[in-house]
């Protein structure tokens, strides 16, 4: 069964770049043929689906996880290629996630709070550093937060900020970027949020246990 899940994730993930580009990019920026063979997205899709399948969660949360994997793939490839996470992509993810929560009878309050707090945190960082965070990253955080709880959002943001900070420092030290060079943040957010979705509660509780 795990092999079938991987193949499904591989197939869907490999088609997300073309699908996302053709559906959500503005007409003047569409270059869908650029992603005709996206092996990276296929690998991420297959691996992400298997991780969601293997982690012991409810079927409803598994469904959220599969949608989250595909949404994050779309965000990453568009941010890397076009420096853009379209509003229409984020809105579509919000609708899909809310529909799954409604159909499956899942909790609403915690994920809504997580989405608002996470988006607010990135908005605060953007204001503090005067544009250090793009509007698409903030909206991506809000959309993703609807599939997370407080543990997942906290762990995801911390991991994303640490990864983004280390990558930025690496580029600065190598002379490949300046202080004002825009650096796509979606890959770091996607990594952090996926880890938060899968193991957020466990990571936060272990960290707290080290402090007590």
DSSP state string for 96-148: HHHHHHHHTT---HHHHHHHHHHHHHHHHHHHHTTSSS-HHHHHHHHHHHTT-
What does the DSSP assignment read for 16-80?
HHHHHHHHHS-GGG--GGGGTT-HHHHHHHHHHHHHHHHS---HHHHHHHHHHHHHHHHHHHHHH
Give pLDDT tens digits for 154-203. Answer: 999 999 999 988 887 887 777 766 666 677 889 999 999 999 999 999 99
Element (H, E) at 87: helix 87-103
Residue 32 has pLDDT above 70, yes or no: no
C-alpha distance across the termini of the chain, in Å: 41
Largest CA distance in the chain: 55
- Rounded Cα–Cα distance for residues 97 and 102 (Å): 9
pTM higher than the cut 0.85: yes
The total number of structural domains in the chain stands at: 1
Provide the pLDDT confidence category of residue 126 given band limits of 50, 70 and 90. Answer: confident
pLDDT tops 60 at residue 50: yes
| Residue 13, domain extent | 2-211
């Amino acid at each position: 069964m795990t092999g079938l899940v991987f193949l499904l994730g591989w197939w869907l993930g490999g088609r997300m770049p073309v699908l996302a580009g053709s559906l959500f990019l503005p007409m003047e920026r569409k270059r869908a043929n650029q992603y005709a063979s996206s092996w990276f997205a296929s690998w991420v899709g297959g691996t992400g689906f298997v991780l969601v399948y293997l982690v012991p969660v409810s079927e409803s949360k598994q469904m959220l996880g599969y949608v989250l994997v595909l949404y994050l793939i779309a965000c990453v490839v568009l941010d890397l290629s076009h420096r853009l996470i379209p509003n229409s992509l984020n809105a579509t993810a919000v609708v899909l996630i809310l529909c799954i929560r409604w159909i499956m009878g899942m909790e609403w309050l915690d994920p809504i709070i997580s989405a608002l707090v996470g988006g607010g945190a990135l908005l605060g960082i953007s204001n503090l550093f005067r544009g250090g965070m793009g509007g698409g990253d903030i909206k991506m955080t809000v959309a993703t937060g609807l599939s997370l709880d407080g543990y997942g959002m906290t762990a995801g943001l911390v991991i994303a900020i640490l990864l983004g900070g280390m990558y930025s420092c690496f580029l600065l030290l190598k002379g490949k970027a300046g202080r004002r060079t825009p650096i796509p943040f979606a890959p770091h957010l996607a990594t952090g949020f996926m880890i938060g979705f899968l193991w957020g509660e466990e990571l936060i509780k272990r960290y707290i246990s080290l402090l007590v």
